[in-house]
Amino acid sequence: MEIPAIYSVYRGGEIRAAPVDISGTNISFISEPVPPAYSAEGFDERMSVLVVDVKGLGRKRLDDRLLMNMKFSGSDIWFMTFIKDVEDVFDCFMGNVVKVLMPYHTVRNDIVPREVFEVTENCIPVLFVLNGRVVCREEQTEDIGEAIREMERIGFREIAVLDIDYTLRDDDWASLHERSSGIIPFVRSRDKADRIAGFQNIIIDF
């Protein structure tokens, strides 16, 4: 299933979205956000859409106005925001959210993913990959294979991999698919999405 990523903010009494620039782990709009022209109506099955909380990630605190007002008819909402601890995950589920995406580099310590996994099966860790390595807390990096193994040891069956700078080659994605059927590629271009295959889900910029 292809899942569109809509980079969003709540402004002027409505949800707005725009393309973004991702530099390291910093996400910023590159144009003025406008109401997104997205609709999943007319499909036989419910679709999923990922809403990325740009403001929340930037200020390191969930944007609760975005959370409580986002609605996409005919869609199950996945939500990615700044997650420091398990309480932040609980807060996300106060909105119209089916799954929470937890950036690996924002959690307070190594215990948090374990605590999150113990309380919900509907949270997916997101590994931000820069220069072929996973960004950890305080901008440290880690081997992508080891980061995936760590999440698998905890018990996560789905792990999203966000290729920030397009450094993962097609054969890298093939290797990730071979090692785990639960990997969810998070790619930023249609060309890349069309070249990698076999994954059950793939997230792509809308």
Question: Residue 113: what pLDDT?
Answer: 97
> Predicted confidence band at 95 (pLDDT cuts at 50, 70, 90)?
confident
Residue 177: φ, ψ to 5°? -65, -40
pTM: 0.94
Examine the pLDDT at 42 and tell me if it is beyond 60. Answer: no
CA distances from 202 to 50, 89, 153, 182 (A): 11, 22, 23, 11
> Predicted confidence band at 40 (pLDDT cuts at 50, 70, 90)?
low
The tokens for 76 are 């199950």
**Which is more confident, 63 or 197?**
63
Examine the pLDDT at 177 and tell me if it is beyond 90. Answer: yes
The tokens for 129 are 């990959």
Burial of 115 (0-12, 13-18, 19+ CB in 10 A): middle
Q: What percent of the chain has pLDDT over 70?
A: 97
Question: Residue 57: what pLDDT?
Answer: 97
- Domain spans, the chain: 2-205
Tell me if 128 sits within 8 A of 103, measured CB to CB.
yes
Q: What percent of the chain has pLDDT over 90?
A: 82
Strand partners, 103: 126
Question: Residue 138: what pLDDT?
Answer: 80
What is 41-81 written as a DSSP string? Answer: TT-SS-EEEEEEEHHHHHHTS--HHHHHH---TTEEEEEE-
What is 146-183 written as a DSSP string? Answer: HHHHHHHHHT-S-EEEEETTS---HHHHHHHHHH-TTE
Q: Which CATH superfamily does the domain covering 2-205 fall into?
A: Aldolase class I (3.20.20.70)
Quote the CA–CA distance of 5 and 188 in Å, as a whole number: 9
Quote the CA–CA distance of 137 and 139 in Å, as a whole number: 5
Examine the pLDDT at 23 and tell me if it is beyond 70. Answer: yes
> Predicted confidence band at 139 (pLDDT cuts at 50, 70, 90)?
confident
Examine the pLDDT at 112 and tell me if it is beyond 90. Answer: yes
Examine the pLDDT at 163 and tell me if it is beyond 60. Answer: yes
Question: Residue 44: what pLDDT?
Answer: 62
> Predicted confidence band at 37 (pLDDT cuts at 50, 70, 90)?
confident
DSSP-derived letter for residue 34 is: B
How high is the mean pLDDT of the chain? 93
